[in-house]
Amino acid sequence: MHFPIETYDTNLVSQELFDKVMFLPYMCTRTDDPPCESRPEVNIAHNYWTHQLYNFVPVENPEYFQNSGLDASNNPLYLEILTYLEATCPNMPKREWLYSSYINCLKHGDTPGVHVDAPYHVPENKTVLVYLNPEYHPNFGGETVFYDHKLDAQRIISPKPGRVVIFDGRVPHSGKPPTPRYPINRYIIAFKYMDPSIRQELFKTADLGNAPPPEDKGVIGFDSKTIKKLLLT
């Protein structure tokens, strides 16, 4: 089974960069269970901390998107990191497809869920993750787990400092919080990409979450047949 995941180890992370990351203001608004027609309410008990650096909304003031937690700070930190990645990592997506960048902060006890970053019917997408903590040990936790079409865990990426992960956002995955052995929160920056014309159409049809098919198993936008085909290609 082939997972469309690439990893690159870089020298991006320094103590200076990590200090910038740690002292950003964070809001407890990130959720892996976005609202949809069958589940209009968000269970805030599973929210975790995030800082939205950049967000491009392709239509004006859509009611669906009125969420203060998604207001972007436009802090230049994301451009600093993005410029480094584009000069260092092969196969970085086109910058003009970038629509969102944020830093997630997971602490011990957080409960992020299995999710996808793009609806199953949108192959024109990519997600880029970068681990920002300056130290790593297997006992510290913080891994990213990728799942197959049966939602069985198949690949685990260790959060080494500066490690970059590029993947098809339709693949189910979840981030793991740090263990009690690590006294610092786990920080990761995400860059999300999608064909702008397709993203605009999704907004126009209010189909961002894409009401899940019956076999969804609680993961919004997931379709087992699509993922099975993707992983067997």
Counting residues of the chain whose pLDDT is more than 70, the rounded percentage is 83
Statement: residue 109 has pLDDT above 90: yes
Q: Put the strands of the sheet holding 153-157 in their side by side order.
A: 153-157, 144-147, 173-175
Q: What is the pLDDT of residues 30-86, one digit of tens each?
A: 888 766 555 666 677 789 999 999 988 766 655 544 444 456 788 999 999 999 999
Structurally, how many domains does the chain consist of?
1
Residue at 135: amino acid letter: E
Residue 103 pLDDT:
97
Largest Cα–Cα distance of the chain, in whole Å?
A: 47
Task: Determine the Cα–Cα distance for residues 102 and 61; give it in Å rounded to an integer.
Answer: 20
Displacement of CA 232 from its chain's centroid (Å): 23
CATH code assigned at 181: 2.60.120.10
Residue 219 pLDDT:
79
Residue 130 pLDDT:
98
Domain that holds residue 120: 5-232
Structural contact between residues 121 and 225, judged by C-beta atoms closer than 8 angstroms: no
Statement: residue 217 has pLDDT above 60: no
Q: In terms of pTM, does the model score above 0.75? A: yes
Residue 39 pLDDT:
62
Residue 7 pLDDT:
97
Structural contact between residues 79 and 101, judged by C-beta atoms closer than 8 angstroms: no
* Per-residue tokens: 141: 């936790």
Residue 150 pLDDT:
93
Q: What is the pLDDT of residues 156-209, one digit of tens each?
A: 999 999 999 999 999 999 999 999 999 999 999 999 999 988 888 877 665 444
- Of 161, 160, 98, nearest to 128 by C-alpha is 98
Residue 213 pLDDT:
47
Residue 37 pLDDT:
59
Which pairs from 79-86 meet CB under 8 Å and 24+ separation? 81/12, 81/17, 81/130, 81/189, 82/191, 84/10, 84/12, 85/10, 85/12, 85/128, 85/130, 85/164, 85/191
Q: Put the strands of the sheet holding 186-194 in their side by side order.
A: 5-9, 163-167, 125-131, 186-194, 98-106, 48-55, 27-30
Residue 38 pLDDT:
59
